[in-house]
Amino acid sequence: MPHEHRHIRSLGIERPHEPYFFGYDEGPAGDGQVRLELLYTGLSAGTELTFLKGTNPYLHSRWDDGRGLFIPGEPSAHFPVNFLGYMEAARVTDARAPGFAPGDVVATTFGHKTGHTADPAHDLLLTLPDGMDPILGIFVAQMGPIAANGLLHADADQFGAAVPFLGAGVQGRPVLVWGGGTVGLFCALFARQAGASEIVVVDPSPFRQDIARRMGFTALAEDDAVRHAKTWHHKVGGRGAEYVFQTRARSDSLHRCLQALRPQGTVIDLAFYQGGLDGARLGEEFHHNGLSIRCAQINRMPRPVAHAWDQRRLAQETLRLLGAEGDLIRQHMITHVVPYDQAPDFLRRLVTERPDFLQVVFQT
């Protein structure tokens, strides 16, 4: 019953390479709160597998937010890691806050938990439109905005504070999207919605290339993509891409991105690198072509537009994209829907067997 205490299970990591379920009891919702029951939760493999493998920087150092520095030798995360995840779709079972009603399906970020009590004054909650497949809600609050923020960085580079619409910076331009995972394909979809003249998704995996092609994009391996980009001739600016959206967390891939740029072009980097950058050679194309690398991280909007754009607005843009492309995304990008109870075993197999996958979703 919605007004009773309940037991919550949370998918976490007990120790390196060992996922498990952690449990705790939760009371009923209070005034101003909304009680949620999990429907779907998406795996953000690029981030969450770093905890499973023990490579996440928070396991080895502490982030000092005031100084913007990691402090080595002072880990801020320890095993067991009881809470992971940020891609949830849930049903409202009790609403003590205005704007929500029992039965609503909302997109939010509370982790791989069977339930959550949210405060709309602090938590990002977006009600899904009638008729939208609830599984698509996993993309709305965080993953879609991560990709949209990449486009927004290109927009701010072109227009400063006067960005007319999301993706304006790539409208009429050819772009490369490096990496055919979830973030990369969302970047490609946002670029298509904005009117990019040509979109090439770059990935060495034939499996991911095939998905990109079925979604209507040109898909190439990395060396082929560099050669293809050099056929894009700018009368004044030289040959190559103005923007490359880099989502593949490998230093050799970053170097290929730099090679694909036109002189004074920019890599918009959304990747999460965990090791060094031995494969990225900054004395070559980066130096001789005067290139730029711009990190686009979801907690930081481009400074010129931070007054007008935030994560909620990017989530609304994601809902708009899902309204147009939702069927295509559901058909091709969600490759595994796994019962929630089987999530630990699936994660073990994901690390040991390394099957082809794109977006994994756990379903209650």
pLDDT of residue 1: 67
Can you tell me the distance from the alpha carbon of 144 to that of 139, in angstroms, rounded to the nearest whole number?
A: 5
pLDDT of residue 42: 98
pLDDT of residue 292: 97
Say whether the peptide bond before residue 16 is cis (omega within 30 degrees of 0): no
pLDDT of residue 230: 97
pLDDT of residue 236: 81
pLDDT of residue 46: 85
* Residue 261: Cβ-neighbour burial (10 angstroms; 0-12, 13-18, 19+): buried
Q: Mark residue 160 as left, alpha or beta (left: phi above 0; alpha: psi -120 to 50; beta: remaining).
A: left
| pTM of the predicted structure, to 2 decimals | 0.96
Query: Which residues does 242 contact at the CB level (< 8 Å), separation at least 6?
Result: 173, 174, 175, 234, 261, 262, 265, 266
Q: What count of other Cβ atoms lies within 10 Å of the Cβ of residue 351?
A: 12
**Average pLDDT along the chain, 364 residues, taken 10 residues at a time:** 87 96 96 98 92 89 90 92 96 97 98 98 96 98 98 98 98 97 98 98 98 98 98 90 96 97 97 84 93 93 96 98 98 98 96 94 98
Q: Show the tokens assigned to 219.
A: 């898909």
Query: Which residues does 300 contact at the CB level (< 8 Å), separation at least 6?
Result: 306
Residue 10: C-alpha distances to residues 7, 20, 52, 110, 159 (Å): 10, 8, 15, 10, 43
| Residue 340 and residue 114 in contact, taking contact as beta carbons nearer than 8 Å | yes
pLDDT of residue 17: 93
